[in-house]
Chain A
Amino acid sequence: MRDYLGNVPKASSEIFFRKVNFWDKGGRDAPPVFNVDGVSYLYVKDGGVFLVATTRENVSPSLVLELLKRIGGIIKDYCGLLSEEAVRKNFVLLYELLDEVIDYGYPQNSSSEALKEFVLNEPTMLKPSKSKGDALFSGVGKGPTGVIKSILDTSRTEGKAREEIFVDIVEKISCTFSSSGHVQTSQIDGAIQVKSYLTGNPAIAIALNDSLVIGRRETSGSVNYGGYGRGGDTVMLDDCNFHQSVSLDRFETERTLQLVPPDGEFAVMNYRSTYPFKPPFRVSTTVDEDPNSALKAIITIRITPDFGGDKAASGLEVVVPMPREVARVHCELGRDAKSGAAGQTWDWQERARRLVWKFKRVQGGLEHTLRVRATLSDGWGPSIKKSIGPINLQFTIPMYCASRLQVRYLQILKEHKSHQPYRWVRYVTLSNSYVVRT
């Protein structure tokens, strides 16, 4: 869309789309960096939009990808969301932004806040499409806050817009269970995301758990509690990094982050933990011979949500790959009377040989079972159980935090007592790779 150096063919966007769409005959994703006729193409995909850069040089690919990500973020900050429509409706503004962000291929200024000084165009806001159901937390692409609002609102509309700040603890959890039901590997990738719409950019303070311990356990397994150990309440992280605006003066002593949040959305802190945590879902499967038919097997899948009844997961999807011997399945939902089958569906995808069990909402503590009668092409054999799976779960649990990291308080350090901006602190846990082997 914008050519800075004029050394790649004009048709390069055409070439790119042909390559990406027909990579390996269209069967799979193209790697994010590839070379065609001496031109390297680098892309990221965000909100259904490809952001592509081309080069003939031996550049730093991470720099290019980070920059593309950032541009995606800037577009979201200015236009509220990133979509083809948003790009089309705001192309003049985006040209203006891109001219400031990049000069002759060098990234210059990539902070949404600092860019405000240089742009003159007004954004055209789009209504979010309602098609995707739950607008909040409906996907990673949109940014976790789900707030569609341009950062220009605060500066241009002097006081009319709502003063507010969002602080979101977003955790993506990966968990692999062995066939015996034990957790084999687990990891939390978390971030504290801030999106600020405060006029005058006041400083804020975010206080985290007192009992936060950062650092990896030594090889022997002993943990350096560093004076913060408080028995079971300790929150332990392997590693973390901070946004450059964060002052860590009070972090070592009070676990408090101080910063002047620039406008726009950004991660105040990213963290990673491989310490064990309580997995929110447990899954068990049993496979039995059907006493009535030699060519049938009965598979029972039981899901146990292991979190409080005051919370609920949304959009739980359980994908069960079936062995080759399974020709057809028939399922019975909600055999246990307590929870019922409301909001549950199942779908047999014959070509992919997998069973998909979906829930609109799963309340904590309520167990669900799915009874599958599978018709087999060969006879019954004990190998059937082995070749089911691995089962994969996808879910979103609002107001749940696997690492138990907490924002103790969020303070806006501003003089005016009368001024009370809205403060939102939210938690959400998303599944990243949640796999149960069988």
Chain B
Amino acid sequence: MSGDGKYFATTKKGEIHELKEELRVLDKSRRKDAVKKVIAAMTVGKDVSPIFPDVVNCMQTDDLELKKLVYLYLINYAKSQPDLAIMAVNTFVKDSQDPNPLIRALAVRTMGCIRVDKITEYLCDPLQRCLKDDDPYVRKTAAVCVAKLYDINPELVEDRGFLDLLKDLLADSNPMVVANAVAALADIRETSSHNLLVLTNQALFKLLRALNECTEWGQVYILDAISKMQISEAKDAESIVERVVPRLQHANSAVVLSAVKVVLLQLPLISDEAAVKALIKKLGPPLVTLLSEEAEVQYVALRNINLIVQKHPEVLSHEIKVFFCKYNDPIYVKLEKLDIMIALANERNIDQVLLELKEYATEVDVDFVRKAVRAIGRCAVTLERAAERCINVLLELIKQKVNYVVQEAVVVIKDIFRRYPNRYESIIATLCDSLDSLDEPEARASMVWIIGEYAERIDNADELLESFLEAFPEENAAVQLQLVTAAVKLFLKNPQPRAQQMIQLVLTYATQETDNPDLRDRAYVYWRLLSSDPEAARAVVLAEKPVISQGTATMDPQLLSTLLGNLSTLSSVYHLPPSAFVTRAAHTPAPSLDNGALRERTTTDDGVAAAAGSSSSGPVSDGAPSSAAAAAQPPSSSSLIGDLLDLDISDPSPAAAAAPVEELVEVMSPQNGKGLGIKAGFSRENNAPVFLLQLANTTQQSLDGFMVQFNKNSHGVAPASQVVQVPPLGPGETAGASVPLTTNPALINPAANPATIQVAIRNNQQGVLYFTSPFKPDILAAPAASPVDDNFFGL
């Protein structure tokens, strides 16, 4: 064996002892070899801290190579041996005054990396000297050192006036020093409350001048610093743009993207429309050039381009061809390209795009194929004049009878029907032919919706629905919801005995045998409507539905503008605001509650608020306006037995109202919960106690399989079922859930704090998390006069 590899070879016992011996020899080159062995052991994770003093003894040497090795060791182990690390201080201080600038810089650099308080005290004087050193290499190292020190001890940095010295370096004659000073100040600003980069115009132009001269990395730091400045004068914006535009030609993708960000941020300030147009035109080619880079760089570029084209599609509208997928693109690049193709598709290029998408739909990767089929659907929904061509392509694909293609196509055709009602229904027959191949909930739910919605045009709609109903109890909740609605629609459109029988069956099951509150509530609403006023039911269920908007897939404008401000940062890759994944940054207001996750729970005065059963529960939203919920009352047990369609409810229970509804409180922040944020509270729903959860997934993966359990508590409260009824949570999604509760005397712990309950929640991806939720025992008390049917509500 040759080279450094041999240092990894020793694995015998007593190795530490041997090393110790070797470190004591006088021969310099043998001693250096010994230190290399120590570093090798350290690299592979062995603990070589016991020989700390012996290694530090080698520190005082003229051999720069040996010195560097010892420093490397020190950085690694000083924290575990703070008292011994002090031994090194003298050498450091001496080195920081060495005539050789390399040694001065090395000393300051290393001291900054040793995160031991006692050492940092000794660091201040050398640092002060080095910040004013004659040699730029030392100054640039010292600038970074200020940031290191600030991270360890901010007060010390402020007391010693290092921040001002650092700001002085912004005007340094050496661009490398300027760049490091900018980087250090930006870093310090992240943690401190001071706004350190408030720059005068003069300083701004100094930075812009340094831009041309410093390294590519320095350029990125300066550009990012400029992007964070508040520019308000059009004049300033114009001169920034003028200086920054040449950076778009840089070979380093980070420089290009940061420059694009700076230019985009200045656009609103520039009033000359022709100038803005010209600028936007200049952004296109450099962005396209990024796609010639390695796949990794392409991926980051594509995620950023995705944001840019949502705001300024004209930047790349003529370049759609470069986003066509290549055979050898990694899947993560292909999926991103598809998104951008959809965003750039217009009536001029749609034929080309469709031709491509059709090819993709025959590829091997299932996810990619699915996404391609969805893309065709999205083009149909957004481009009215191309809709027919899109549908033809979808039909061709369905005829190839590849199972997952058919399923995906059904899902998107449902959306097309909702976008263009009464235009393309002629294709329903083709869809019905492939009914048997649908085995995924979303596809089945979509198909059921189509059958229900167009029951009058499908000759055997009742037969088709019946075939679905056979397996009703085993269906996924989303399909069940659609089946209930479809059965009601069928009945209202064609009240034949067969339909009546079907609806009776479905509603009975949905009200009596399911433990899914959404399903049960929706069934009750229909039941009540049908039994009290069939005309009203018709008005509600068969109401004309609003045409879905084309923007189903676009981003919230506020989030988009946040992300565009964070272009060329991780935030723009994750498509999440920085606060969602950066733990150190100051806490920003939580993102606005996502639509309907908490629904009316906190506002209605009615305990059965969730009964609306419309908005977020299924893939298809139905006409039933949520105000219908107010009319619904929990039927008393006696009326359940009566004739379904003659349901007589003369006895609206008075006590249904006024259950205590609690605000949900944050019991776990995403930082503490491995990226899962949890709000929780206790309340009553349908006259029964429930535990309400709001789960916010800020991780990069989808979370599912949520289960919940309580520790023994003062009232013996426990979830009726450990399974939390919540759909899989995609990255960035938020969902609410309510967990029905029971009480069990066996679970009473009289010693527990009656005001809190300890909760454990788990999911398939993150394992178990623990938190404590405030608890008010009064949710357990059923309102006195309520005729609660235990069989039903007791769950």
Contacts and interface: CB of A to CB of B under 8 A. Distances in A.
Contact of A433 (B151, B327, B362): B327
Given A35-B574, A239-B289, A435-B327, A90 B251 contact: no
A232 interface: no
B39 interface: yes
B436 interface: no
Given A62-B297, A66-B253, A352-B364, A272 B217 contact: no
A32 B112 contact: no
Contact of B36 (A32, A92, A103, A110): A92
Contacts of B288: 239, 272
A295 B345 CA distance: 42
A78 interface: no
A88 to B, nearest CB: 5
B180 A106 contact: yes
Given A59-B569, A62-B257, A33 B299 contact: yes
Contact of A60 (B254, B674, B700): B254
B37 to A, nearest CB: 10
B700 A38 contact: no
B121 interface: no
Interface in B1-19: 2-5, 7-8
B301 A272 contact: no
A390 B364 CA distance: 11
B569 A58 contact: yes
B329 A104 contact: no
A189 B322 CA distance: 12
Contact of A35 (B184, B329, B700): B700
B583 A91 contact: no
Give the one of A92, A274, A437 with max B CB within 10 A.
A92
Given A29-B331, A56-B582, A62-B257, A95 B296 contact: no
Contacts of A40: 570, 581
A300 interface: no
Interface string A265-300: 001001010100000000000000000000000000
B180 A57 contact: no
B582 A88 contact: no
Interface in B300-328: 300-301, 318, 321-322, 324, 326-328
Nearest to B399: A383
B583 A88 contact: no
Nearest to A35: B700
A89 interface: yes
Given A90-B4, A238-B285, A104 B332 contact: no
Contacts of B285: 216, 238-239
Given A37-B675, A61-B300, A120-B65, A28 B331 contact: yes
B31 interface: no
A67 interface: yes
B570 to A, nearest CB: 5
A185 B356 CA distance: 11
Given A103-B144, A432-B326, A96 B585 contact: no
B593 to A, nearest CB: 23
Nearest to B256: A62
Contact of B140 (A36, A59, A108, A242): A108
A149 interface: no
B671 A433 contact: no
Contacts of A434: 327
A407 to B, nearest CB: 20
A61 B327 contact: no
B370 to A, nearest CB: 14
A92 B42 CA distance: 12
A4 B327 CA distance: 39
A60 B224 contact: yes
Given A88-B5, A241-B250, A432-B328, A65 B68 contact: no
A89 B251 contact: no
Contact of A321 (B109, B176, B296, B364): B364
A69 B294 contact: yes
Given A36-B700, A61-B573, A110 B328 contact: no
Contacts of A209: none
Interface string A96-135: 1001000110111110000000101100100000000000
Nearest to B576: A35
Chain B facing A: main interface SS: helix
Interface string A165-206: 000000000101000000001010100000000000000000
Query: What's the interface size class on B, roughly?
Result: 35 or more
A437 B359 CA distance: 8
B514 interface: no
Given A104-B112, A121-B65, A187-B322, A57 B584 contact: yes
A369 B531 CA distance: 75
B183 interface: yes
A392 interface: yes
B173 to A, nearest CB: 18
A92 B8 CA distance: 12
B566 interface: yes
Interface string A44-80: 1100000000011111111101110100000000000
A88 B584 contact: no
Given A60-B254, A92-B4, A241-B249, A107 B217 contact: yes
Nearest to A62: B254
A16 interface: no
Contacts of A57: 190, 570, 582, 584
Interface string B322-355: 1010111111100000000000000000000000
A153 to B, nearest CB: 15
Give the one of A45, A63, A437 with max B CB within 10 A.
A63
Contacts of A120: 64-65, 68
B181 to A, nearest CB: 11
Give the one of A56, A66, A90, A174 with max B CB within 10 A.
A66
B321 A185 contact: yes
B297 A66 contact: yes
Contact of B253 (A4, A45, A62): A62
A92 B190 contact: no
A29 B330 contact: yes
Given A189-B292, A433-B328, A60 B297 contact: no
Contacts of A99: 68, 72, 109
Nearest to A61: B300
B252 A56 contact: no
A219 B318 contact: yes
A433 B112 contact: no
A150 B329 CA distance: 32
B572 to A, nearest CB: 8
A345 interface: no
B444 interface: no
Contact of A43 (B251, B296, B585): B296
A358 B296 CA distance: 29
B147 interface: yes
A29 B258 CA distance: 27
23 contacts: A4-B113, A33-B573, A43-B296, A44-B296, A58-B570, A58-B571, A58-B582, A89-B2, A92-B4, A92-B39, A104-B112, A104-B113, A107-B217, A121-B65, A185-B324, A242-B251, A243-B251, A274-B322, A352-B364, A387-B362, A390-B327, A390-B359, A432-B328
Given A40-B581, A57-B570, A60-B569, 20 more contacts: A33-B570, A37-B675, A37-B699, A40-B570, A56-B583, A57-B582, A58-B566, A61-B568, A66-B216, A66-B253, A91-B43, A93-B4, A96-B65, A106-B221, A109-B215, A120-B68, A124-B4, A270-B289, A352-B364, A433-B327
Interface of A: 1, 4-6, 28-38, 40, 43-45, 55-63, 65-67, 69, 85, 88-93, 95-96, 99, 103-104, 106-110, 118, 120-121, 124, 174, 176, 185, 187, 189, 216, 219, 238-239, 241-244, 267, 270, 272, 274, 321, 352, 387, 390, 392, 432-435, 437
The 7 closest A-B pairs by CB, nearest first: A124-B3, A433-B326, A63-B254, A62-B254, A32-B296, A89-B3, A107-B217
